[in-house]
Structure 1
Amino acid sequence: MVTTNNALLLLLVAASGFFDAKERKIPNKITFTGILIGIIFNSITGGWMGLLEGVIGMVAGLAIFFLPFVMGGMGAGDVKLMGAIGALMGWRFSLMTALYSALVGGVMVLGYLLYTGKLKDTLKKMILSLINLLFHFLNQLGYNEKIERIQQRFTKDGQEYKKIYIPYGVAIAGGTVLVLVASAQGFHIF
């Protein structure tokens, strides 16, 4: 069953995913309009409680991706898109969308690494990073020259990590669709 808010949601994520894939950004016109429509729609259908639900959903949606944004893992448009999803659908839906989007994003990155032949190098760099983190932790427990010599064997100078860009708006759109499908099948976490 396609409800009005589901139709608005699908329109929002389709437009966002399209622009993110094409332009590598999600325009404010889309995200701010989505937030405004979500809050107004919930206010009309639910009165003051609907308004409160829309605002709480928006804040929760923004908060979910705020830390990854601050750490440079995603763009501001992705954060605002989650705020719009929360404003329209509520905080529970935005939380589930974030989880499903992470799965879709992971599949997208894996597909990209397989397609470009960079999977082996990426896994190697990840393992080396984990080893360096372990050595750093061991050094914090107490300086040890043997640990430092072992760490130097694993450290490769001059290797730079090149950030992999995926249009996360597409992953959010995919995650949104998966949440809607799961909900239609009666699968609810909350």
Structure 2
Amino acid sequence: MANLAVFLILIISTITDLRNRKILNMVTLPAILVALIYHWFTTSLDGFIFSGLGFLVGLGLLFIPFIMGGIGAGDVKLLAAVGAWKGTMFVLYTGVYAAIIGGLISLIILIKRRQFGFTLKSMLFSILYLKGTKGSLQVPSDTKQPVSIPYAIPIALGALLTFLMEANL
């Protein structure tokens, strides 16, 4: 049941993030609540703790990027929902894979837009002079919009890789 729930949550969230750039609360919040209740009823207090810790780890993984303005609240709640259903280790692996996949997607977009050099210089300047960019990539005003990706895609792909890894153990 948990695997099916996670697949449905990720599919719905990926579609809405691609179409509207939003991950809906009406998907993530009930998913978190149902996961906590499901694990409570199936394995009692141990299940509730399993689900609660997964929720907290999923929330914590993206909380700092959210505070810095680099990621949306829906992405944070989506990863927390995955954690509530599948637990801490699953969500940790999913978060690491999602970060790698999201970084690769961003890198490809920057190279395609020919903004990689400017972005690298901007990041180095920010580090050298401790100048914050509030978690966003800044690009010159004469070019296209800042690089932004619907992060439900890397989260879904990260979860898929974690499912595959889990199946091979």
Answer yes or no: same fold by TM over 0.5: yes
Shift of 1:48: 1.9
Deviations 1:126-161 (A, max 9, x none): 23333334xx9xxxxxxxxxxxxxxxxxxxxxxx92
Whether the aligned pair in 2 keeps the contact of 1:60 and 1:91 (CA below 8 Å) is: yes
> Which of 94, 98, 102 in structure 2 is aligned with 1:97?
94
Which one-letter code corresponds to 1:184 in the other structure?
A
Aligned length, in residue pairs: 158
Match of 1:15 among 8, 12, 28: 12
Q: How does 1:16-165 map to 2 (within 5 A)?
A: 16-133=13-130, 161-162=138-139, 163-165=146-148
Counterpart CA distance in 2 for 1:161 and 1:60 is 29
SS in 1 for 2:129: helix
Distance 2:21 2:105 in 1: 15
The Cα offsets for residues 34-78 of structure 1, whole Å up to 9 and x where unpaired, read as: 102211221232122112211222122112211111111111101
In structure 2, the residue matched to 1:154 is none
Give the SS at the match of 1:30. helix
| Alignment root-mean-square deviation, CA | 1.8
Q: Distance in 2 between matches of 1:58 and 1:130?
A: 32
Residue 166 (structure 1) aligned with residue 149 (structure 2): yes
TM (normalized to structure 1)? 0.76
Please tell me whether residue 179 in structure 1 is matched to residue 162 in structure 2: yes
Give the counterpart letter for 1:49 in structure 2: D
Question: TM-score, normalised on structure 2?
Answer: 0.85
Structure 2 gaps, min length 5: 132-136, 140-145
Query: Which residues of structure 1 form unaligned runs of 5+?
Result: 137-159
Distance 1:72 1:172 in 2: 18
